[in-house]
Structure 1
Amino acid sequence: MTTFPDLDYVHTNNQQQQSHQNQELNLCADDYSLLTDLYQLTMAACYTGKGIEQRQASFELTVRRLPEGFGYLIAMGLAQALEYLAKFRFSPSQIAALQATGIFAHASEHLQCAGGDRFWSLLAEGRFTGDVWAVPEGTAVFANQPILRVEAPLWQAQLVETYLLNTINYQTLIATRAARLRDVAGEQATLLEFGTRRAFSPQASLWAARAALAGGLDSTSNVLAALQLGQKPSGTMAHALVMALSAIEGSEDQAFSTFHQYFPGAPLLIDTYDTIAAAQRLAEKVNSGEMKLTGVRLDSGDLVSLSKQVRSLLPNVPIFASGDLDEWEIARLKAEGAQIDGYGLGTRLVTGSPVNGVYKLVEIDGIPVMKQSSGKVTYPGRKQIFRSFVGGRVKADRLGLLGESPLEEQPLLQLVMQEGQSVQSLETLAAIRQRTAASVASLPPETRHLAHPVAVQVEISEGLRVLIEETEKRTAKVLRI
C-alpha cells in the first residue's frame, strides 16, 4: 500500500508547490481511488457544495469513431473495471494527502459554511453503491454504442470515469488487434504475445497480455501475467544467449546444444549469424537423430524467402516468425507463400492507434441530457444495443432506449453489478476467447476486411430519435432563459 508522508511544501516564484513523493509509483488496489484526474475530485466537491452529490446519474462509455482501418472493436477490460469499483474507497492517509495540497481549501470553507465539511466525510465514508450495465467481454461493438453504463449517485459515477476509460480503452484496443491477428493468421497458426517490453508501462503489459489471450492469442511471454491468469508462459531464446555461448564455447552449434541440455526440444533462434547455414547444420543433427526440435524462430531478414528455405531443410519442424509483425504483415506473408506456422507479436500489438473511448453523462435525476458540441454529439438517456442476425451473421444493430423491447433481436448490455455488488461470476479467459471468436465469425465479411472495412449499420430507434429531439428542444429553451 502506498504511504502518504507529511508534505513539506516549498513555495516557488510561480506559487507552485513541490513535495517529496514516493518515487516508485507502483499501483495497488488500495490506491485505486486516487488514480483519477483532478477535475473528477473538484467536480465532486462542487456537487457536494450544491447538495446534488447523491442525485442519481447515468454515464455511458462509448467510442465516437473506430480507429482508422478498423471495422469493429472487441470490448474488453470489464473484469478489471468491476474489481476497481468493488474496491473503490478513500483511506484517511489519502484524504490527508489531498487536503495537504491546498487545492480544496477554498471549497472546504464554503462546504463548512453550508453545515459541515461534507466533501471529506463523503470520501471517508463512501463506497461504490451503483449499478453497472455492460456488454460481455469479447463482444464486437461499433461506434456510438455504449460498451458500459454506470448508474450511481452523481459523485460516485463522476469519480470513476478516469480508471474505467483507462482499462477499457486499452484492453479493447489490444483485444481487437488480437482478434484481427487471429482472423488473418487462421486457427491453425500459433500466436504468441511478446509485447511486455514495448507496452506503455508494467501495468499495461499485464493488461495487454490478458486482452491478447482473451482476444485469440495462444500464450504470453509475460511470466507474471501468465501465472496470475493460470496460464503457462511461452518463449524461445534471445540472440544474446547465442552470442554469449558461441563466444565462450566456440560455436553457434555448441550454443544450441548447451541450451537444449537445460531445455530439451525448446525452439531455437537461428538468425543470429547465417540463418540458412544454421538450418543446414540443425537439419543434419535432426536427420541423424542427434537432436529433436520443436521449432525454430526467424526474427529478421526476408521472412518469405528464409522460411521457404528453412522448410525445405527442416520439413517437419514448426517455423515461428517475429519482428514488428502485425495483421497486415501476416496477410502479406501468407499471400506470398511464406512457410510460417506461428508468430510472435509484440510492438505493433501493444501499441498503435488508440481506442478513443469517452464517458459521458446521459441522464441526471431522471432528466435525459446530451452533449451537442460540434463533432462530439452524444445521445441522451439510458440505452440498449439490439443486435439482429440472419443465418448466424450480424445483420444490423439498433440503438434504442433501455425500456424498449427487442424485435427478434439480442440485447447486448447486461446488468453486471447491482448496488455495488457483482451479480455475475468471473468469466474464464477461455470463455471470453470463445466469445471473441464467435463474435468475429458472426460479422459480415466486409466488416472483417483489413482494407477499407465497412462497419455494421447502427440504426437509431424511433424512441431514441424522439428523445433526441425533445432533449434538443429542452436544451434550446434553457439556453434562451
Structure 2
Amino acid sequence: MVTFADVNHLKQRVRDIGLSVSAVDSSLITDLYQLTMAACYVGEKTETRRASFELFVRRLPSGFGYLVAMGLAQALEYLETFRFTPAQIQGLQETGIFTSAPSIFWDLLASAKFSGDVWAVPEGTVVFANEPLLRVEAPLWQAQIVETYLLNVLNYQTLIATRAARIRDVAGDRATLLEFGTRRAFSPQGALWAARAALAGGLDGTSNVLAALQLGQRPSGTMAHALVMALTALEGSEGEAFAAFHRYFPGAPLLIDTYDSVEAAEGLAAKVNAGEMELAGVRIDSGDLVAVSKQVRSHLPRTPIFASGDLDEWEIQRLRDAGAEINGYGIGTRLVTGTPVNGVYKLVEIDGIPVMKESSGKRTYPGRKQIWRWIGEGKVVGDTLGLMSESFASSGGDVQPLLQLYMQDGVRTQPKESLQQIRDRTKSSVASLPAAIRDISQPMENPVQISTGLAELTEKTKNR
C-alpha cells in the first residue's frame, strides 16, 4: 500500500533532481488529455476495443523532398517498459482532476503493460507525406495514451536524420562530418537523440561524449577559443598554446581562427615542414570560409581543413560550389534545430470500423495501410499507399511493402539493429531516390498514389 509519505517522498525527489527524466518516468511524459481520454474510455466500457493509430506527416518541411524515418528503437523501448508506479498513480489521484473518473481506471493503470502490435518502416527508410512511419494496433486506451511520447521521439529524430542525410548527400562520401549540436539541442535528452539520429543519418562522429560512448563510438572534437586565449595570455603566444595542447593530445586538430587564421597556418606550416609537429587537421570557425580556406591550404597543402559555424546543407553546397578548400564540417545549431517535422498520430480504425478525419486541410485516410514502393533499375519509381488487405504485383522491376511487424502482443518480433545497419540503410535509401527529389534548392515532390481499394474505402467511410 502506498502511503502519503511515499507520495511526498516522490515529490521531494522530483524537486531535488529538477526536471530530469528517468526511464520510470516515461509513462507520465504525456499530455493530460491522454489520461483523461483513457479514463473516459474506461467509464464508457470501450477501453479494450481494438484500435489502430497511424503516425505520419501531412506535409514535408519547406525545401524537403523526403524524410528519413528514425526513432523506432526508442519508441519500442518505451512500449516495452510502459508502466505506472503506485506513487505515480497516487500522485495523479491527488491532483483532484480525476475525482469523477471510474475507480477501475486506477486498477487499469496499476496493471498497465503494452499488449499491442506495432508496424513500422525500418529506421533509415525514406518516406513521403501521408505515409505511416508507424502504426499501433492495441486496446484503445493503450493506443491512445502512448501518442505523445511516440510523436516526440519519432518527430525529432526523423528531423535530425533527414538533415544529416541531406548534408551527407551534398558534402559527398569523402567529407568528414561531425555533429556539434549538443549545446544547441533543446534538452540534454534531445542532445542524445540528436547525436544518434545524426550518426544514423550519415555523419561520422559526435562531440557528445555520453552519446558516443552509449553508441559504441569514439567522441570527436578539437578545442575551443578559450584554451587558445588562456594559454596565449599565460604562456606568451598562440604557438605556445598549440604546443601545450599537443603535449597532451599529440597531433590533434587545432582551432586556428582565434586571432588570424592565415598567420596561424603559416606558423604551423613551418613546424610541420621542419618535422617538429604532426597535425591531424585545422578548424576554421569564422570569416570568409572560401577565401580563408584557400589561403590556409596554400600553407598546409596536405593538412585536412575543417569548417564550423552555423553550417547546414545549403551553406555547405555554397562552399563547395565556390571551390572552398574544406575536407570536413562540424554541424551544430542548424542540424539540431530548425523547421520541425510535424508528425501526427491519428485513429484510422476502431473495433474493425474504418474511421477518418474530414477537417479542412487535415483530412486523413481510413483503415490500416501499407506502403508499396516501386523500384526500377535500383531507383524509386513511386509509392502506392494502399490497404493492408491489398497486394500488388510488379509487371517490371520490383515492388516492396515497407511497413514491417516489429512488436506483437507487446513482444518484439525483430532483433535490435546496430547503428551501422541503420546508417547503411539510410545511405542506400537516399541513393535510390531520383536526383530531382534529393535536390535541396527546389526538390520535386514524390507523388504518392492512392490505391483503388483505399480510394473506395475513403469514399465509403466519408458517405457513411
TM-score range normalised by the length of the shorter chain: over 0.9
> What's 2:449 paired with?
459
> What's 1:252 paired with?
238
> What's 1:269 paired with?
255
1:138/1:215 contact within 8 Å kept: yes
2:10/2:87 contact within 8 Å kept: no
Shift of 1:5: 3.6
Question: Hey, what's the Cα distance between the residues in 2 that align with 1:127 and 1:100?
Answer: 23
Question: Hey, what's the Cα distance between the residues in 1 that align with 2:421 and 2:446?
Answer: 24
1:4/1:94 contact within 8 Å kept: no
> What's 2:55 paired with?
61
The answer to whether the aligner puts 1:310 opposite 2:296 as a matched pair is yes
The residue type paired with residue 202 of structure 1 is P
> What's 1:447 paired with?
437
Question: Hey, what's the Cα distance between the residues in 1 that align with 2:439 and 2:281?
Answer: 31
> What's 1:6 paired with?
8
Moved over 4 A (4+): 20-23
| DSSP-derived class of the 1:106 partner | coil
Question: Hey, what's the Cα distance between the residues in 2 that align with 1:8 and 1:178?
Answer: 40
> What's 1:477 paired with?
none
1:395/1:456 contact within 8 Å kept: no
Task: Name the count of aligned residue pairs.
Answer: 455
> What's 1:44 paired with?
38
Choose the corresponding residue for 1:327, options 309, 313, 316: 313
Question: Hey, what's the Cα distance between the residues in 2 that align with 1:21 and 1:454?
Answer: 50
Shift of 1:147: 0.4
> What's 2:99 paired with?
105
TM-score of the superposition, structure 2-length normalised? 0.96
Shift of 1:390: 1.2
Question: Hey, what's the Cα distance between the residues in 2 that align with 1:245 and 1:406?
Answer: 67
Q: Encode CA deviations 1:276-311: one digit per residue, 9 max, x unaligned.
A: 111001000000000010100000000000000111
The answer to whether the aligner puts 1:419 opposite 2:421 as a matched pair is no
Structure 2 matches for 1:100-249, cutoff 5 A?
100-107=94-101, 111=102, 117-249=103-235
The 1:400/1:4 distance shift into structure 2, 3 A limit, reads farther
Shift of 1:24: 1.1
The residue type paired with residue 100 of structure 1 is E
The residue type paired with residue 438 of structure 2 is R
Shift of 1:21: 4.3
Q: Encode CA deviations 1:87-123: one digit per residue, 9 max, x unaligned.
A: 001000000000000000022xxx2xxxxx1100000
Shift of 1:8: 13
| DSSP-derived class of the 2:271 partner | helix
Question: Hey, what's the Cα distance between the residues in 1 that align with 2:53 and 2:407?
Answer: 14
> What's 1:470 paired with?
460
2:406/2:414 contact within 8 Å kept: yes
Shift of 1:22: 5.1
Question: Hey, what's the Cα distance between the residues in 2 that align with 1:232 and 1:451?
Answer: 34
The 1:8/1:318 distance shift into structure 2, 3 A limit, reads closer
| DSSP-derived class of the 1:197 partner | helix
Shift of 1:254: 0.2
> What's 2:82 paired with?
88
The answer to whether the aligner puts 1:24 opposite 2:26 as a matched pair is no
Shift of 1:262: 0.1
Identity score, percent: 70
| DSSP-derived class of the 1:396 partner | strand
Shift of 1:4: 7.0
Q: Encode CA deviations 1:150-207: one digit per residue, 9 max, x unaligned.
A: 0000000000000000000000000000000000000000000000000000000000
The residue type paired with residue 84 of structure 1 is Y
1:138/1:435 contact within 8 Å kept: yes
> What's 2:388 paired with?
402
Question: Hey, what's the Cα distance between the residues in 1 that align with 2:444 and 2:16?
Answer: 48
1:72/1:142 contact within 8 Å kept: yes
Q: Which segments of 5 or more consecutive residues in structure 1 lack a partner in the other structure?
A: 10-19, 112-116, 475-481
Shift of 1:451: 1.0
Q: Which segments of 5 or more consecutive residues in structure 2 lack a partner in the other structure?
A: none
| DSSP-derived class of the 1:105 partner | coil
| DSSP-derived class of the 2:8 partner | coil
Shift of 1:142: 0.3
TM-score of the superposition, structure 1-length normalised? 0.93
Q: Encode CA deviations 1:223-262: one digit per residue, 9 max, x unaligned.
A: 0000001110000000000000001001100000000000
| DSSP-derived class of the 1:174 partner | helix
| DSSP-derived class of the 2:384 partner | strand
| DSSP-derived class of the 2:114 partner | coil
2:7/2:90 contact within 8 Å kept: no
Question: Hey, what's the Cα distance between the residues in 2 that align with 1:148 and 1:435?
Answer: 17
Choose the corresponding residue for 1:73, options 44, 64, 67: 67
Question: Hey, what's the Cα distance between the residues in 2 that align with 1:269 and 1:251?
Answer: 14
The answer to whether the aligner puts 1:350 opposite 2:336 as a matched pair is yes
